[in-house]
Amino acid sequence: MIGQSLINISNGARARLSGIVASVALLLFIMFGAPLIEQMPMAALTGLMIMVSIGTFEWVSIRIFNKYPPSDILVMVAVTLITIFLHNLALAVLIGVIISALVFAWDNAKRIRARKRVDEKGVKHYEIYGPLFFGSIKTFNEKFDVQGDPEEVIIDFKEGRIVDMSAIEAVNRLTERYQKVGKKVYISNLSSSSHKLLIKADKMVKVNIVDLNKQESFSEKNLEPSP
């Protein structure tokens, strides 16, 4: 239907009626016009599909092909080759979506950052930027200096986000590493979605949550929002 919509637009269609007419015509062909369609030569239908491909293809993409991100080139090549050799467009699209999702996860895993500072009370702050999920856990753990940090540490998620259960487990393990050396870790400025994940996992994790705006801390495993 994407090809049909592009053909409609290229022939001057601008209203929703064009899509309705195309859908009704296709329905009529399927229900009542099958004997007529069967009389058309296969070569004619093949030529029609070739012309549709030529009309919908973005030819300008060939000139700027080398300027595309490598991940986009990989997806285009993979989908094209799978379609040509396996004759299965649905499978090619599915694999393309999977590759795109993996590339997106990989790119986001590299975007997590931590800005560090020590306030006037000697408390060290880690301000997290970016999403924390299964792909960025390793980079997240490398940001912390458990042995060299002071007695109290605050991990600020104002510009970050806890995305999945793997991230919650990573925070829990980090907290345990600090506790083993006699230091306290507080989590602050969690988003509502991150807070909900912690509430659901309150039997699995053991963290301290603190509201910096009200200077009011919570006891361990108390995951209810501040008043």
Q: Out of 13, 28, 57, pick the residue that ends a domain.
A: 57
Q: Which of 13-22, 155-164, 191-200 has the highest mean pLDDT?
A: 155-164
The larger pLDDT score, comparing residue 41 to residue 216, is at: 41
Q: What is the mean pLDDT of residues 67-95?
A: 90
Q: What is the mean pLDDT of residues 1-30?
A: 79
Q: Is the domain of 91 the same as that of 77?
A: yes
Q: Is the domain of 121 the same as that of 204?
A: yes
**Alpha helices (H) in the chain, listed in sequence order:** 2-10, 16-31, 34-38, 42-56, 60-63, 70-86, 89-109, 137-142, 165-180, 192-200
Q: Is the domain of 25 the same as that of 8?
A: yes
Q: Is the domain of 126 the same as that of 45?
A: no
Residue 202's pLDDT band, with cuts at 50, 70 and 90, is low
Residue carrying structure tokens 């999403």: 131
Q: Is the domain of 104 the same as that of 118?
A: no
Q: Is the domain of 40 the same as that of 17?
A: yes
Q: Is the domain of 132 the same as that of 198?
A: yes
Give the Cβ contact number of residue 208 at 10 Å: 20
Q: CA 197 to CA 12: how far, in whole Å?
A: 50
Lookup: tokens for 212: 């910096």
| Residue 225 falls inside a structural domain | no
Q: What is the mean pLDDT of residues 200-227?
A: 53
| Residue 69 falls inside a structural domain | yes
Residue 182's pLDDT band, with cuts at 50, 70 and 90, is very high
Q: CA 162 to CA 195: how far, in whole Å?
A: 8
Q: Out of 57, 76, 93, pick the residue that ends a domain.
A: 57
| Residue 207 falls inside a structural domain | yes
Q: CA 205 to CA 171: how far, in whole Å?
A: 8
Q: Is the domain of 117 the same as that of 184?
A: yes
Q: Are 160 and 132 in contact (CB under 8 A)?
A: yes
Distant-in-sequence, close-in-space partners of 130: CB < 8 Å, separation ≥ 6: 108, 111, 112, 113, 136, 159, 160, 161
| Residue 185 falls inside a structural domain | yes
Query: Residue 1 is part of which domain span?
Result: 1-57
Q: Is the domain of 182 the same as that of 140?
A: yes
Q: Is the domain of 44 the same as that of 101?
A: no
Which one, of 133, 138, 125, 131, lies nearest residue 187 by Cα? 125
Residue carrying structure tokens 């070569």: 43
Q: CA 152 to CA 149: how far, in whole Å?
A: 8
| Residue 23 falls inside a structural domain | yes
Domain count across the chain: 3
Lookup: tokens for 54: 């030529």
Give me the DSSP letters along 132-157: ESTTTHHHHHHT--TTTS-SEEEEEE
Helix or strand (DSSP H, E) at 113: strand 113-118
Q: In what order do the strands lie in the sheet with 152-162?
A: 113-118, 124-132, 152-162, 184-188, 208-211, 216-217
What pLDDT does residue 217 have?
41
Cα→Cα distances 39→31, 43, 62, 210, Å: 16, 12, 37, 75
Q: Which pLDDT tens digit goes with each residue over 104-139?
A: 888 888 888 999 999 888 999 999 998 998 889 999
Q: CA 122 to CA 115: how far, in whole Å?
A: 16
| Residue 227 falls inside a structural domain | no
| Residue 224 falls inside a structural domain | no
Beta-strand pair 124-132/216-217: unpaired
pTM score: 0.61
Q: Are 114 and 143 in contact (CB under 8 A)?
A: yes
| Residue 17 falls inside a structural domain | yes
Q: Out of 41, 57, 73, pick the residue that ends a domain.
A: 57
Q: Which pLDDT tens digit goes with each residue over 29-68?
A: 888 888 888 888 889 888 888 887 787 777 777 788 888 8
Q: Is the domain of 213 the same as that of 117?
A: yes
CATH number of the structural domain spanning residue 189: 3.30.750.24
Q: Is the domain of 127 the same as that of 206?
A: yes
